[in-house]
Amino acid sequence: MKTIVAATQNKHKIREIEAITKEFGMSIIARDEAGIPKVEVVEDGETFEENSYKKAYEIMKLCGKITIADDSGLEVDCLDGAPGVYSARFAGVDGDDDANNKKLIDLIKDVPYEKRTGRFVSVITMVFPGGESIVARGEVEGHIVLEEQGPNGFGYDPLFVPVGYDRTFGEIEPEIKNKISHRANALIKLREMLSARENTL
């Protein structure tokens, strides 16, 4: 079985991605398991694709193995696509979910519900030692509410109601979310791409 190095340290993301890659004889290990130094890859790209590729490519250079990375976030239409690639640090501090959610609510509180549309985006990139890469993008459309609802998930999940549902990702059961989410949709595409090139892996 081939070993893939995950650019992320997020065990939840690794578990979701490996559920797909193991079908193709690929097991995923975290960066620290691969003995990679604790370096921070600067996410200065203007798109999810740029950041996802950069994270995967930089870690691949350090380990010389197939590397996979995910970059994801929320795009809100009435904010011209913000927070977008800045989703995790929207309020200024990386990973401060409470501050990010509060800032988002403040910015759209006067916008009627039907115009508070947006989407979660996930871009998963796999980079091979030879420099080749495959990129899978997944999205899920929905509306933004003005009050956090539900204890599940993380980030903007308690504010996001996916199309076809009347509950937020914070209220929807994780096993359901994992079938309809942006990352799930990206993983479906990744499976298709890996299947198409299975004989060359």
Pick from 25, 29, 35: which is nearest to 4 by CA?
29
Q: Which residue, chain included where needed, has tokens 């009050």?
A: 147
Contacts with 163 (C-beta within 8 Å, 6 or more apart), sequence order: 140, 141, 142, 143
Q: Is 71 one of the annotated active-site residues of the chain? A: yes
Q: H helices within 11-159, ranges in order? A: 11-21, 48-63, 97-108
Contacts with 40 (C-beta within 8 Å, 6 or more apart), sequence order: none
- Give the angle 10-43-136 at the CA atoms, nearest 5°: 65
Amino acid letter, 41: V
Distance of CA 123 to the CA centre of its chain: 6
Active-site residue (options: 71, 80, 98, 110):
71
Pick from 1, 2, 8: which is nearest to 56 by CA?
8
Alpha-carbon gap, residue 64 to 71, rounded angstroms:
21
- Enumerate the active-site residues: 71
